[in-house]
Structure 1
Amino acid sequence: MKIASTLPALGIAVALCLTACKKKDIFEDNRSQGTMSMKLDGQVLTVSKQLTGSLYDTANDVMSHLIVSGMTEDNQLLTVNVAFPNKQLKTGTYELNTFRYNTIGWMQRLSDAIGYSAVDLEYGASAIIKIESISESKAKGTFSGVLIHDVDETKKKVVSEGRFEVSLIKYTK
């Protein structure tokens, strides 16, 4: 008789244990929370999938790199990259420079492998990234600039009203 009365209680306990345990999802666990958007030649683009904010402390001993990227619903890729000299995470304005640090990029379709980026000052590219807040776990900022086509440097796109606010995944040596 005692076994019959304990089986329902044991079944409930097992069910609670199984529903309380959440399987780890490597894709969900390596995804940032937050938002990212920009206007590209006046058209609003909003990241709706695969948003990632990464803080890399691994590139060298004198610099940290923030990379915020993601894709729109129709698979357009947006990315912002900021270099922090001396590994000092500081608020402030970071501009594209001759070392090709502090860049913005956009690709209409990832499968095309041709996009626009602000990496070459000599072709008229520009990028202004304003970090409003930064820590090892969160980043918030705005960005704007002029992107140059990867193949035909006469083709340009204007980025305005760029914004991001993301949780960060930190990668260290």
Structure 2
Amino acid sequence: MKKKSLIPGLAILSAALFSACEKKDIFNDNISQGNFSMKVNDSLVTVTKQLTASLYDSTGNYVLVISGLTASNQGLTLNIVFPGKQLKAGEYKLSATDMNFIAWSKKLGTSDGYSADDVALNAAASITIESITETKAKGSFTGVLVHDVIEEDKKTVTDGKFEVSPIIKMN
């Protein structure tokens, strides 16, 4: 008799425990706070959603990738390589060997993207890290973006700024 009266009580207790558990949402749990913006040919591009900052542990280096979307689904990405896994303030430039780059997609899913990732195409990226820890980064950037298909189509980036936290550490 006691077993029968315990079963409904245990069922209610189990349901209460499982409903109290908060499910993890990989999209909401892996979002940074802060700001990320730039001017492209004097037109402001500001990330307003899905801002993320991820620190990747690469062979011999750390790589910080900051990305997000604008309200009109333009994509913005910044890539900074920290040689010797030394997170430190300073200037990081795109070169033939260092992949410190800027990328901008005017509309996701189209071939209307620009990037500063190839110095042979006269692209340029200069990223200044003002402060950085394993959980927070702040800095500015400028550059020259080259269209992904039409190499002659270039855009100038000015007034690039970012301040993000937390930084999600990836292995």
TM-score range relative to shorter protein: 0.7 to 0.9
Which residue of structure 2 lines up, in the alignment, with residue 24 of structure 1?
A: 24
- Structure-1 residue corresponding to 2:39: 39
What residue is the counterpart of 1:56 in the other structure? 56
- Could you tell me how far apart the structure 2 residues matched to 1:150 and 1:21 are? 46
Which sits farther off after the overlay, 68-77 or 111-120? 111-120
Q: Distance in 1 between matches of 2:19 and 2:126?
A: 47
The C-alpha deviation readout for 1:126-169, integer Å capped at 9, x for no partner, is 00000011111111110010000111110000110000111100
Unmatched runs of 5 consecutive residues or more in structure 2: 1-16
Query: What is the TM-score when the length of structure 2 is the normalising length?
Result: 0.85
Q: 2:139 touches 2:162 (CA, 8 Å); kept in 1?
A: yes
Contact 1:52 1:68 in 2 (8 A): yes
Aligned Cα root-mean-square deviation (Å): 1.9
SS class of match (1:31): coil
Letter matched to residue 171 of structure 1: M
Provide the rounded CA distance (Å) in 1 between the counterparts of 2:20 and 2:164: 28
Residue 23 of structure 1, CA deviation: 3.5
Give me the TM-score of the superposition, normalised by structure 1.
Answer: 0.84
Deviating more after overlay: 96-105 vs 65-74:
96-105
Segments ≥4 residues shifted beyond 3 Å = 17-23
Residue by residue, what CA displacement relative to the aligned partner does 1:42-78 show, whole Å, maximum 9, x if unpaired?
A: 1111101110100001x21x11100001000000001
What's the counterpart of residue 99 of structure 1? 97
Name the counterpart of 1:147.
Answer: 145
Q: Distance in 1 between matches of 2:143 and 2:86?
A: 24
Runs (5+) with no aligned partner, structure 1: 1-16
1:133 counterpart residue number? 131
CA contact (8 A) 1:133 1:139 kept: yes
